[in-house]
Chains A and B, each alone.
Chain A
Amino acid sequence: METGIRVLLLTAVLMTLPGCASVRNWFHHRSEVRQQKAEAKEEAAQQDAQAAAADADATPPRVVDPEVERRKIKVPHIRSSNIEIGINDGFISIEDFGTNNAYGLTAAYHITEDFFFQGEYGRAYAGRTSFETLGGNIQLLTSAERQFTYYDISLGYNFLPGETFIGRGHALTTAFYFLGGIGATKFAGDDRFTVNFGGGYRVLPSDWLAIHIQVQDRVFRTDLLGVSKLTNNMEASLGATVFF
């Protein structure tokens, strides 16, 4: 344990050395910049004075002094609209526990036209296994344990961009996308590492609104029914998101 702390302190000291090199500049840099600005101003003033003196010598005083002011252009901030937030509702087939309603929240950040990161959080309520249904009064899980919650962070890839047409006058942009990521599932009183992958179809009725149809498989290992096995939990959902 002491070695750990010693290593910690030593590394801390080592880290601050190069770190200081960059931090130090904050204070010094500011005074340097100020000094440079002052010098530049002085120089400009001197040059102006010289130019004025030269002008006075060379040209006679003007009758009309044109006052042309250059229009200064203020560049307005260009809004970025890369964030997508929304809700979805659908079904999830929880392995051994039947198909159940699932709903959730999604948030995505579009990094390039091809790639985006997406985070999801969802809930479902697991039904009864065949064993429970056939066995009468047997309950494998309590009501609280049947609550199935999951989250994931995925990387998405857009492919097959296109347009879909409604009547003669309307074209909506669309795209298919792949999703793959990692996350966790809380089910039957335990948190499990979960891998998710799937895909979806996105239709944009306007620049700020998107409708999603998404299918994903959530895979995690569980030993709930005696043997340790990988379970596949397919989810299909319909969602709406808003771009910000």
Chain B
Amino acid sequence: MFRLPLAGLLLSLVLLAAPAVSSAREHLQVYITAPYLELRSGPGRGYPVFHVAERDESVQVLFRRTDWFKVRTERGVEGWAAQRDMLRTVLADGTPFKFDLGDRAGFTSHNFEMGIFAGEYSGSTLVSTYASYSLNSQLAVELSVGEFFGKYSNGVVGDLGLTHVLVPEWRFSPFLMLGTGLVHVTPKATLVIPSDRTDQTAYVGGGVRYYLTRRFFVRAEYKSHVVFTKRNANEEVDEWKLGFAFFF
């Protein structure tokens, strides 16, 4: 019943946000030092080149999508210029135009990281995702959430902790983790005691990350959780997972 109004509401939100996205603002002006600057019709190497701006002409940098810059020439032509071409432009005072490249250097030191994992939590299949914020190139605060699907119970896990990358410069770099979290377990209805429970956990762990290309890396990790149950004995749970991640 509420579906239509909800969809309508979302659509109007989207439409409301749209003009804000395309609103006018002050743009950076850069000058071309290469013989020419190719403009493509879309942000990708597969889109055709439809215009060329000459040396010493200036272009306005409107915005950026992945490794492409939307620019406007002096004659008002708008198109997409590649990141490697924009490296050969200068600011009005002659200094080179610098921006975040999203390369190997970024793997060593970056602000944010996000990724998705598949794995195992105490023998159950696990789907999980994480986001981290780097305090410096070695230490990061990390939040991860996941859901696991077992034979006898399902559940959700949430962890908050610190990650310490031992040698950030290495392509294949190990890291350690320490933190705390919550686990909510929903036993399947066929069991004798079908009551949900939420417990606090603490974990230590370690893993490796391997830089693939651009902003991508593979990440494999192991966490050893101690679940502080309300029963007499605490539980120990192993978590293994492997996934893709990217930094920005």
Contact = CB atoms under 8 A, between A and B. Distances in A.
A4 B224 contact: yes
Interface string B41-81: 11111111000000000000101111111100000000000
B18 A209 contact: yes
A221 B25 CA distance: 52
Given A85-B14, A182-B127, A15 B178 contact: yes
Interface string A173-196: 101000001111000011111000
Contacts of A11: 176, 178, 204
Interface string A1-24: 100110110011011001100110
Given A171-B41, A191-B154, A111 B63 contact: no
Contacts of A171: 41
Interface stretch (A46-54, A60-68, A73-81, A134-142): A73-81
A208 B62 CA distance: 13
Contacts of A113: 43-45, 66-68
Interface stretch (A34-42, A92-100, A158-166, A230-238): A158-166
A15 B164 CA distance: 8
Given A111-B214, A190-B188, A244 B27 contact: no
Nearest to A191: B154
| Contact-residue bracket for chain B | 35 or more
Contacts of A242: 14, 17-18, 21
Which one of B66, B70, B92, B164 has the highest number of Cβ atoms from chain A below 10 Å of its Cβ?
B66
Interface string A117-160: 10000000000000000000000000000000000010100101
Contacts, number: 172
Contacts of A71: 92-93
Contacts of A1: 226, 233-234, 236
B91 A7 contact: no
Contacts of A80: 63-65
Contacts of A112: 66-67, 102, 214-216
B64 A22 contact: no
B149 interface: yes
B93 A73 contact: yes
Contacts of A26: 136
A87 B44 contact: no
Interface residues of A, number: 67
A76 B63 CA distance: 11
A8 B21 contact: no
A103 interface: yes
Contact of B236 (A4, A79, A103, A244): A4
> Shortest 4 CB-CB distances between A and B: which pairs?
A161-B46, A173-B42, A11-B204, A193-B149
Interface of A: 1, 4-5, 7-8, 11-12, 14-15, 18-19, 22-23, 25-26, 70-71, 73, 75-76, 78-82, 85-87, 89, 103, 105, 109-115, 117, 153, 155, 158, 160-163, 171, 173, 175, 181-184, 189-193, 204, 206-209, 240, 242-244
10 contacts: A11-B176, A15-B176, A76-B27, A79-B63, A113-B67, A161-B42, A193-B125, A207-B22, A240-B11, A243-B65
Interface of B: 3, 7, 10-11, 14, 17-18, 21-22, 25-28, 41-48, 61, 63-70, 91-93, 95, 99, 102, 114, 116, 118, 125, 127, 129, 135-139, 147, 149, 154, 162, 164, 166, 176, 178, 186, 188-189, 202, 204, 214-216, 224, 226, 233-234, 236, 244, 246, 248
